Chain A
Amino acid sequence: MTQTLSPTHGGPQPIVTVPPPGRQTEANLLNVPQVPSVSSSLLAVGGLALFGACTALGAPGFTAATHAALVPVAGLVGAMVLTGPALVAGHLFLRPNIATEVPVAALGLGLGAAGSVAAGIAPLALFLVATTGLWLSVLSLGFALTGLACAAVTLQALAHATGERPGFVFVWVFLAALVSIRLTIAVGSAALEVAP
């Protein structure tokens, strides 16, 4: 099986790559999920920001509100930015038959799912913040839900695309969760200090 990576009309000879035996390049390339566009990723970040802003309305004082509003974006997007390369590198290292686009696309789909859930629960959060003093609980539960949605969709996309067991991806999810919690505490500490 061969792949041509340059046009065949004139010019230099096409580069031909021959995959090593035992690797299922063709099958796995067929399953590459579509990498989400920049606009859809920005929409997802917007959904997270909307959820943060809705819950922050209940925080006491401007400083606490600012920090609370940043928690979903910083906690989730920050964790994905910091740990995403590990997922990609892990796939390149441990699963060389998987196209590089697969983990990238899975991360994008996970972010999209998190943004979609965050935007969906934003009106619910606004209602609870407007009628109760439970903004911190709403923020925590909503953030946990978006994180779970992100992890679930990322795992599902990877499993669907690779057709393999998650394996080390579970370790990555654990690492990403720890990094996310650390970032959340760092960003939300001011809000927690002021909160009653």
Chain B
Amino acid sequence: MRIELRNVSLQHDGKPLLFQGINLALESGEFILVQGASGVGKSSLLRLMNRLQEATSGEILIDGKLIATYEVTSLRRNIGYVQQTPIMIPGSVEDNFNFPFQFHSTGAQKLPGLDEKQMWMDTFLLEGVKLSDDAMKLSVGQKQRIALIRTLLVNPKILLCDEPTSALDQQSKEIVEDSLERLNVEHGISIVLVTHLDFTLSRANSRRFLLQPNRLEEVSVSIS
């Protein structure tokens, strides 16, 4: 699956232009890092890619077709978005994993089995967490990883991550960085990740961009 932004601009109602003339293409299997200061529009850039928002002008193409031509619920299942603040549904960790499968758009998609859930929990180094644990009582770092797994269980082809490490301590940050890189390298999931922090990638086929007002510029080194 490929996402392409062509000359995209965004302006929220009654506010100044957030950005304009943005061009970006995410190729299948690629890991794109977008860095930039707070308030520059990083989250909005992601939200355009799964159609939580509409661009003010320009075109967004998914596999060469305009984003608006896709059925939106199925589009969002294929392009998973993990929010900056991990939101847990009241209930157990397993309730949270099962949450996406109550929706009509899931269609014939089977509820993931215990093995699959456990495999992802191992991948994200959640050994100390049980499926029956109260999700609301987990640490922020654990919630962040549960939120990632919940999105991954839907089998997205692309993962959009909004500041996944901003609220984490150094140890949790390294775990999430490593897990996301493994997702990309070992499972072939394309990733677009926005952050205002440094983000370490060693193995992934990645490109880094710096988002500034009215400009998205490819850079060769991490901006911290």
Binding partners A and B: no
Residues of A within 8 A of B (CB): none
